[in-house]
A and B are shown apart, each in its own frame.
Chain A
Amino acid sequence: MKVLLGIGGSPDSFRALSTGLERARAAGDELTVAILENPESDVDPAEVEARVRDELKASAVDASVRRLSGDPGGALIKLAEAEHFDAIALGGGQESPMGKIRLGSIAEFVILNSSVTVILLR
């Protein structure tokens, strides 16, 4: 499966990267990691990309890395549709102090607006 994994620097997006890499190795997915500009994240895209490349190296999964600028949800959907990805994968949300799961704004937008299947990784 051709999977586009979006990562904007939030803790759940880094968890999704680890899970996505494990899955890619087990299932033989063709993985592309898209670095997004997440306005809600404190980690800037260059730092996100450096961490992504470190993880890729450590996991020995052969994935390509792309930097997307502009509105993160829109850019992700545009790329997924234009290049015929089978699925977009994203982090499955952060937990509140109570333990309630709250989806990030990128995930909310992508779920509602993507014509490509969306996978939330937990």
Chain B
Amino acid sequence: MTADDRFPDTPAAPFPTPPETFIDGADREVTIAGYGDGPPADRETEFERLVEMYTTFDPEDRAQGIPPGREDRVRDWLEHLLIEDAVNLIAWIDASAAGHATLVPDVEEAYELAIFVHQDYQHAGIGKELIRCLLGEGARRGVERVWLTVERWNEVAISLYHAVGFETTNAESFEIEMGLRLDPSAD
């Protein structure tokens, strides 16, 4: 398989960019903002709120080993994700991190996507807004190619990815690989 088979030829339609505030399906006010731009006073506080989100995360919703199961590993993993070259957005409800979405660069200048919504806040449309804003922020920062893997039984996630324009590019393994092309020139 060539590198280009991993991504559709045509870019997806433009996406909104953060910050964004909306009312979710359970009538809660949700604010989506980049890491460091959320309601908490500083990055350190945001980091700790994310640690709380992931240490109370239901193991049932882990995917391919993430988020990790112990606090020290959660901290290491977050430090690995919350870097300048990555794109990180957090969905806030009051001072709590309800969801987190991230684009992490690989060695081929494409970006791997992952998104998590805490169990207390699922089924209210937060994931969809969060992934749309993540892709919008990615395009704004020049990201062109995005990929992800998802376990083939995770139908909720797969339909979300399809809804925002991901196409299945490899279905030969335990996980399905999906790709999406962004148009960095769109605003």
Q: Answer whether A101 and B174 are a contact pair too, CB < 8 Å, given A96-B112, A96-B149.
A: no
Chain B nearest CB, measured from A56 CB (Å): 29
Q: Which of B34-42, B61-69, B89-97, B137-145 contacts A (4 or more CB under 8 A)?
A: B61-69
Q: Interface residues of A toward B: which range?
A: 10 to 19
- Chain B residue numbers with a CB within 8 Å of A96 are 64, 106, 112, 149
- Chain A residue numbers with a CB within 8 Å of B134 are none
- Chain B residue numbers with a CB within 8 Å of A101 are 64-65
Chain A nearest CB, measured from B101 CB (Å): 11
Interface residue B104 (Cβ < 8 Å from any Cβ of A): yes
Q: Interface residues of B toward A: which range?
A: 20 to 34
Are B174 and A103 in contact, CB atoms less than 8 angstroms apart? Answer: yes
Interface residue B24 (Cβ < 8 Å from any Cβ of A): no
Are B114 and A108 in contact, CB atoms less than 8 angstroms apart? Answer: no
Interface of chain A: mostly helix, strand, loop or mixed: loop
Chain A nearest CB, measured from B64 CB (Å): 4
Interface residue B70 (Cβ < 8 Å from any Cβ of A): no
Chain A nearest CB, measured from B73 CB (Å): 9
Are B114 and A100 in contact, CB atoms less than 8 angstroms apart? Answer: yes
- Chain B residue numbers with a CB within 8 Å of A99 are 65-66, 68, 77, 80-81
Contact with A along B155-187 (1 / 0, CB 8 A): 000000000000000000111000000000000
Interface residue B105 (Cβ < 8 Å from any Cβ of A): yes
Cα A105 to Cα B81 in complex, Å, equals 27
Are B80 and A102 in contact, CB atoms less than 8 angstroms apart? Answer: no
Interface residue A97 (Cβ < 8 Å from any Cβ of B): yes
Are A98 and B114 in contact, CB atoms less than 8 angstroms apart? Answer: yes
Interface residue B102 (Cβ < 8 Å from any Cβ of A): yes
Seen from chain B, the residues whose Cβ lies within 8 Å of a Cβ on chain A are: 63-66, 68, 77, 80-81, 102, 104-107, 112-114, 149, 173-175
Supplied contacts A96-B149, A99-B80, 20 more A-B pairs, CB within 8 Å: A95-B65, A96-B106, A97-B104, A97-B106, A97-B107, A98-B81, A98-B102, A98-B104, A98-B113, A99-B68, A100-B63, A100-B66, A100-B112, A101-B64, A102-B64, A102-B149, A102-B173, A102-B175, A105-B173, A108-B173
15 contacts between A and B (CB under 8 A): A95-B65, A96-B106, A96-B149, A97-B107, A98-B102, A98-B104, A98-B112, A99-B65, A99-B66, A99-B68, A99-B81, A100-B65, A100-B112, A102-B175, A108-B174
